[in-house]
Chains A and B, each alone.
Chain A
Amino acid sequence: NAGVTQTPKFQVLKTGQSMTLQCAQDMNHNSMYWYRQDPGMGLRLIYYSASEGTTDKGEVPNGYNVSRLNKREFSLRLESAAPSQTSVYFCASNRDRGNEKLFFGSGTQLSVL
């Protein structure tokens, strides 16, 4: 019963460094999402993938790139990290974009110094 698995759980970067957040789901879901959670801001959608082979921008895509590697995996990349990207990042998935229930991973806490 793994559900949605994210790695790493914690990461500290220096400004300008790059890194990739990994996400995998074992529920055979078609759609996957990346959100960021900031104090007082709720969750904001960064990018999503409605199905394997497609990706689209969400509300706050600047400074990020994504790859839908296969049906299971959806990665988020920061090419040149900035302090404004300090946040908690959540990956989520659901059967398809017409199915409203989201399943979330446990999050990645990222600090950019």
Chain B
Amino acid sequence: GNSVTQMEGPVTLSEEAFLTINCTYTATGYPSLFWYVQYPGEGLQLLLKATKADDKGSNKGFEATYRKETTSFHLEKGSVQVSDSAVYFCALSENSGAGSYQLTFGKGTKLSVIP
């Protein structure tokens, strides 16, 4: 079956540091890939997505590139801010037939950014 593996947290960075959160996946076909973010006390929100190989998703300074050869979708940001402190989830979806899909989440990586 499908699975998503992301780096263990928590990750603590100083403001303006470079961020990488690793994500690799296993899928039988050609999934779409996502990063969701969960701010404290809130539900998850879609941060960015990529639907095919070599696509780059980007939003709010975050980027991730769909790498089919390494089955990876690592999240990066050049300069983090305190407001980026949250839990980040990598996820994939794959068409399970008849236009429906199955969404699989990673376990989440908690990021804390200190001033």
Name A's B-contacting residues (CB within 8 A). Answer: 4, 40-45, 50, 90, 92, 96-98, 100-102, 104-107
Give the chain A neighbours of B73 by CB distance below 8 A.
Answer: none
26 residue pairs of the A-B complex, CB under 8 angstroms, read: A4-B43, A40-B107, A41-B107, A42-B4, A42-B89, A42-B106, A42-B108, A44-B105, A90-B43, A90-B44, A92-B44, A96-B99, A100-B32, A100-B34, A100-B49, A100-B93, A100-B101, A100-B103, A101-B49, A102-B36, A102-B44, A102-B103, A104-B44, A104-B45, A106-B41, A107-B42
Q: Does B46 sit at the interface, judged by CB under 8 A?
A: yes
Residue of A nearest to B108 (CB): A42
A-B CB pair tally, cutoff 8 Å: 48
Q: Which residues of B are at the interface with A, using a C-beta cutoff of 8 A?
A: 4, 32, 34, 36, 41-46, 49, 89, 93, 95, 99-101, 103, 105-108
Residues of B close to A98: CB separation below 8 A: 95, 99-101
**Cβ-defined partner of B46 (8 Å) among A42, A45, A50, A102:** A102
Q: Assuming A40-B107, A41-B107, is B101 touching A104 (CB within 8 A)?
A: no
Q: Is the contact region of chain A dominated by helix, strand, or loop, or is it mixed? A: loop
Residues of chain A with a CB closer than 8 A to B101's CB: 97-98, 100
With A50-B100, A97-B99 known as contacts, the answer to whether A104 contacts B105 (CB < 8 A) is no
Residues of A within 8 A of B41 (CB): 106
User: CA A97 – CA B4 in complex, angstroms?
Assistant: 20
Which B residues are in CB contact (< 8 Å) with A105? 43
Distance between Cα atoms of A42 and B42 in the complex (Å) = 15
B26 to chain A, nearest CB (A): 15
- Residues of B close to A42: CB separation below 8 A: 4, 89, 105-108
